[in-house]
């Protein structure tokens, strides 16, 4: 299956030309183990599953985990390496087929396919973290782990208007 088919890209979606050269580089600092081996198996959103997933941090970064075990929730950033990067409007099937801008969607399809998920931390054992709240494919590359700080990260009253109109 091509990436275009896999991600359901349609002929009327808006495709752009990306810059000729990139601007910065990333290191994959580990990988995420989940029960999902195909995109179709993944939960539609990160609260759609209570599955415990495993974040395997590479050993060289292990010292960076000091005090992480005191956090109830973490922000994980990870790399959606299978997603096309040149699509500016998308019509995700589960949002009724209407087109929305890439930056109004949480789709993995975006110029920098960095996904962000808030997860609940179950335990830390060495460089392995058990967490709940992921929806990504098994083997997804990890980019960052941050403490979730409700004082700056939690906005219960936030509204995403176009989604409300669909619900």
**Stretch of 1-9, 34-42, 83-91 contacting a second copy, by CB under 8 A:** 83-91
10 lies in the site for a second copy, by CB under 8 A: no
Distance CA 86, CA 73 (A): 32
Give the nearer residue to a second copy in terms of CB position, either 40 or 161: 161
40 near a second copy, judged by CB under 8 A:
no
Verify binding: residue 43, a second copy, rule CB under 8 A: no
With beta carbons less than 8 A apart as the criterion, state whether 140 and 79 touch: yes
Candidate residues 4, 10, 16, 123; the one interacting with a second copy per rule CB under 8 A: 16
Binder to a second copy among 101, 122, 123, 126 (CB under 8 A)? Answer: 101
Task: State the pairing for strand pair 140-147/128-132.
Answer: unpaired
- Min. distance of Cβ 37 from a second copy in angstroms? 21
Residue 89 binds to a second copy (criterion: CB under 8 A)? yes
Asked if 2 is part of the footprint of a second copy (rule: CB under 8 A), the reply reads no
**Positions in 52-81 near a second copy (CB under 8 A):** 57, 60-68, 70-73, 75, 77, 79, 81
d(CA 21, CA 9): 24
Question: In the set 122, 126, 139, 160, which binds a second copy (CB under 8 A)?
Answer: 160
Q: Bridge partners of 124?
A: 129
- Least distance CB 149 / a second copy (angstroms): 6
Return the residue of 3, 10, 14, 41 that touches a second copy, per CB under 8 A: 14
């Amino acid at each position: 299956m091509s990436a275009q088919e896999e991600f359901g890209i349609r002929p009327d979606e808006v495709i752009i030309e990306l810059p000729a050269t990139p601007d910065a580089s990333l290191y994959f600092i580990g990988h995420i183990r989940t029960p999902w081996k195909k995109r179709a198996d993944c939960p539609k959103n990160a609260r759609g599953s209570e599955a415990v997933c495993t974040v395997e941090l590479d050993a060289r970064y292990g010292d960076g985990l000091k005090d992480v075990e005191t956090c109830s929730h973490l922000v994980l950033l990870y790399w959606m390496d299978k997603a096309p990067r040149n699509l500016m409007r998308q019509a995700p099937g589960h949002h009724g087929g209407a087109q929305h801008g890439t930056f109004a969607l949480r789709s993995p399809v975006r110029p920098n396919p960095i996904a962000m998920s808030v997860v609940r931390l179950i335990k830390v054992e060495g460089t392995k973290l058990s967490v709940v709240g992921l929806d990504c494919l098994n083997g997804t590359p990890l980019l960052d782990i941050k403490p979730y700080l409700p004082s700056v990260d939690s906005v219960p009253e936030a509204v995403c208007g176009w989604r409300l109109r669909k619900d």
